[in-house]
Structure formats: C-alpha cells, structure tokens
Amino acid sequence: MVKKSAKKNAFYAQSGGVTAVINASACGVIETARKNKGRIGKVYAGRNGIIGALTEDLIDTSKESARVIAALRHTPSGAFGSCRYKLKGLEENRAEYERLIEVFEAHNIGYFFYNGGGDSADTCLKISQLSKTLGYPIQAIHVPKTVDNDLPITDNCPGFGSVAKYVAVSIREAAFDVASMAKTSTKVFVMEVMGRHAGWIAAAGGLAAENEGDAPHIILFPEVVFNERAFLARVKESVNKYGYCAIVVSEGVRDSKGKFLAEAGGVDAFGHAQLGGVAPVVARMIQKKLGYKYHWAVADYLQRAARHIASKTDVEQAYAVGKAAVEMALAGKNSVMPAIKRTANKPYRWKIGEARLAKVANVEKMLPKNYISKDGFHITQRCRTYLQPLIQGEDYPPFKNGLPQYVKLKNVAVKKKLVKAFKVA
C-alpha cells in the first residue's frame, strides 16, 4: 500500500482553441487516473486553463460521476474552460512560476497534464523544468490537441481529424447543391476554413474530390501565394467543364505582398492575427471579373465544434493520448508528450509513442510541398494517403429530442488554501 500522503494529485488543463474531441482526451486522463487510484490522487482541472492554476481556481473532477466523465468522450468544446494565455519565460515573469509552485504545493500536485497545441507545449516544457529551475518536483506531460495539425513528431493532432471530416463532408454536400442549381443560378461556391499558417484544414477539403470532376475544384492554401489571374482562369475552366466551381479557401491565404486577402484586424493573446471573411472577398472578385453568380460560407467555429460528425479515428486517438499521458506519468516520465505513430496506411494502423517536449515546443509542422499539386490548386495523392485515414469512421453522439446530448459538468471548485490572490496579467 502506498501511503496516502505520498500519493500526489494531478492537475489537468485545456489550452488554446478547443476542438470537437479535446474532452475525449480529458475523459482519457480522468478515467485512467481513476483506474489508478492507488497511485494517483485526485485530478484537479484548471478552470479556464492555466489561469485556473494561477488564480487557484481548481475544479474537483472527483465530484463528477463516472457516467458524466464518460459523456465527455462525446462532448465537444472544453468542459473546464480553456484560455489563450501563454506563460512568459522564467526570466521575464518569475512570479508566475513561483505562484504555480505555491498552488501546486498547497494542493499536493505532482502531475501536470496540459492539453493544447504548440504554444501550450512550450508552457508545458517550462513547467517540466520547474524541478531543475526552482526545485519543485513535478512531472509535466503534454497532451496534444490542435485543429491546426501543426505539432511535429506526432502523426497528427487530435482535433484535426474531425475538422478535416467536417470540411470534406461539407464541401461535398454544398457542391451537390451548387451542381443542381448551376444551370440558371449559382455557379460558384466558396467555403472558408480555418488554418492561419498551415493549409492542413484546407487540404482536407480535397478528400471530397475522389473522382474526376468532383468538388472541390480549387483549394486555396496559405502556403501558395494567391495569383488572381491563374485562379480566375481555373474558376472559368471549372465552370466551362463541369458547369460550376466549388472552392475551399483557407483564412490564411495571402497575396504576393504577404498581405492576408481578408484582414479582419485584431490580434489574439498569442500575437496571431485574427482573421475571417476571405470567402466573400474571393466570391466578389469572381463575380466582378467573371460575372458568375456566387454563394459563400464561413464555417468558423462550426467546423471545430461539430462533434456530431466527428471522425471515429480522431475520437479514439484523442482518448488514447489522454490515457497514455497518465500512464507516462505513472511510469515516472517528465517533459514528454504521447505522440501518435502511424505504422500502416491501408488499413491505417497506429500506436502511441513518446516525444520529447523540447522537440515539440514552438516547432510548426507545415504542409509538405509535395502535398500540394504542382499548379498549387489541389492536393496530391501523397497528401490524400496521409489524410484519408484521419477522417475514417463515424462516432455519433447520443441524440434526444432531435439534438445531440452534450454534457455540462458541475465543475465544483476546490476550496482555496492560499491567502494571497494572484492577478493574471
């Protein structure tokens, strides 16, 4: 028997933009911790991510029933709240790290699970060094998540597969609609998708085009400088050949001067430009130059929240990385991230491996050049081979009254132990 006092509690937090399956990772963390009650104490979740740790606003997940925790697997969004907040370096803001240690110490926290993307991996890395830098013993494990699919080493990022599926399904459906109307009405449809720097999500739209003539006919990637002339020529060609043209455009498309086609202005907490609205820009350009009637859609949050059409593969992987994170912690690991390793393509097989956080943090995995066709307007077979398994399988949530039944947690606060409040910058 392990002595009760020696048993450390765990801290878990969700960071950055949420996804359709980040709660499946939370489910994997909590269920696995519960299965190892002899060795791991309570799982405290940060309310609104790392801010919950800084402000000692912890959620006691042990107050939630097994049924409710299981329902996290089919619930989109971040059940404990997420945040866009990046810890500065130790030298720049030592107070934040000292505060974290205070909170961790007060609540006997020895495991730190951080569920996020590249910026969050950097935060997790800094936490993992606390024993070295500030003498507080903690094991920090990063749980990968990001719809942007831009983390290195791992085969893909949980959250991405479901957005990919949503985008491919949606452009296929909308294109069927346009094809029926094209004779006398709409000839061009433009669908805007997320992806600031990397065209992973836009590329996923390409999966819908399985046969000659299938939509989308054009994909605009952030990796390819927008060339209005070549683009319009391609639109015209598609309308002449197929009667219509369906386009997937990434929010991050730029012109030859490096300027975003859509400038919504504003910058988020990580210093990234906040975009939106390139679809109407592109659609109106087509109308003006070619005279075609158009429609456009901006999926925005719908794409990353669409748990109803989540990829089964994605849900399974999201759960698996959560589970593996706890197992790594129990195996004494620190400063690592469970990474998905692809072992076969057809049928797709994968297992969970391990990545050093130092090799993950602040490294962006871009869409390889050979994933984009030579003309810059579509994906290659190589890209298709990579992407296809990630949207495989459906994993419908339960429905009642015609609506998906997503769970809302009680999110009971842990009693504060510290006298001092902490003001988040």
Residues 371-390 that bind a copy of itself (CB under 8 A): 388
CA distance linking residue 414 with residue 255, whole number of Å:
50
**Footprint of a copy of itself on 398-417 (CB under 8 A):** 399, 401-404, 406
293 binds a copy of itself (CB under 8 A): yes
User: What is the closest distance, in whole angstroms, from the C-beta atom of residue 345 to a copy of itself in the complex?
Assistant: 13
CB of 287 to a copy of itself, least distance (A): 9
The nearest distance, CB 133 to a copy of itself, in angstroms, is 26
Residue number, 193 or 360, with CB nearest to a copy of itself: 193
CB of 302 to a copy of itself, least distance (A): 5
**How many helices (H) does the chain have, and how many strands (E)?**
14, 13
β-strands 9-14, 43-46 pairing: parallel
In angstroms, give the least distance from the CB of 243 to a copy of itself. Answer: 9
Residue from 295, 333, 356, 416 that binds a copy of itself (CB under 8 A)?
295
Of residues 248 through 277, those in contact with a copy of itself by CB under 8 A are: 266, 268-269, 274, 276-277
Of 220 and 310, the one with the shorter C-beta distance to a copy of itself is 310
DSSP for residue 244 = -
Q: According to CB under 8 A, which one of 172, 187, 323, 378 is a site residue for a copy of itself?
A: 172
Helix (H) or strand (E) holding 288: helix 278-290
In the complex, the smallest distance separating the C-beta of residue 377 from a copy of itself, rounded to whole angstroms, is 20
Name the token pair of 145.
């998540």
Identify whether 214 is a catalytic site residue: no
DSSP per residue, 146-214: -TT---SSSSS-TTHHHHHHHHHHHHHHHHHHHHHHTTTS--EEEEEE--SS--HHHHHHGGG--STTP
Helix axis angle, 228-242 to 278-290, nearest 10°: 70
Site for a copy of itself in 72-101 (CB under 8 A): 75-85
Which CB sits closer to a copy of itself, 72 or 329?
Answer: 72
Beta strand 58-60 with 188-193: parallel, antiparallel or unpaired? unpaired
The active-site residue out of 60, 119, 122, 148 is 148
Tell me if 163 sits within 8 A of 147, measured CB to CB.
yes
Angle in degrees, CA 325, 321, 406, rounded to 5: 115
Among residues 14 and 334, whose Cβ is nearest to a copy of itself?
A: 14
Name which position in 234, 304, 323, 365 contacts a copy of itself (CB under 8 A): 304
Among 107, 308, 365, 378, binds a copy of itself (CB under 8 A): 308
Interface size with a copy of itself, residues (CB under 8 A): 77
Q: Which is nearer to a copy of itself, 306 or 320 (CB)?
A: 306
d(CA 202, CA 159) in angstroms, rounded, equals 15
CB nearer to a copy of itself: give 19 or 334: 19
Candidate list 40, 174, 326, 340; residue touching a copy of itself; CB under 8 A: 174
Instruction: Please give the residues from 137 up to 166 whose contact with a copy of itself meets the rule CB under 8 A.
Output: 165
Helix (H, G, I), strand (E, B) or coil at 222: coil
Q: Please report, as residue ranges, which positions from 14 to 53 form the binding site for a copy of itself (by CB under 8 A).
A: 14, 17-18, 20, 48-49, 51
Residues 180-239, interacting with a copy of itself (CB under 8 A) = 180-186, 189, 191, 207-208, 210
Taking the alpha carbons at both ends of the chain, their separation in whole angstroms is 43
Q: Which of 37, 301, 345, 349 binds a copy of itself (CB under 8 A)?
A: 301
Taking the C-alpha atoms of residue 298 and residue 277, their distance in angstroms, rounded to an integer, is: 7
Q: Are strands 109-116 and 218-220 parallel, antiparallel or unpaired?
A: unpaired
Site string for a copy of itself, 324-363 (x = CB under 8 A): ----------------------------------------
CB 13 within 8 A of CB 53: yes
- Tell me how far, at minimum, the Cβ of 77 lies from a copy of itself, in Å: 4
341 dihedral zone (left: phi>0; alpha: psi -120 to 50; beta): beta
Give the span between the Cα atoms of 72 and 21, in whole angstroms: 9
Catalytic residues: 148
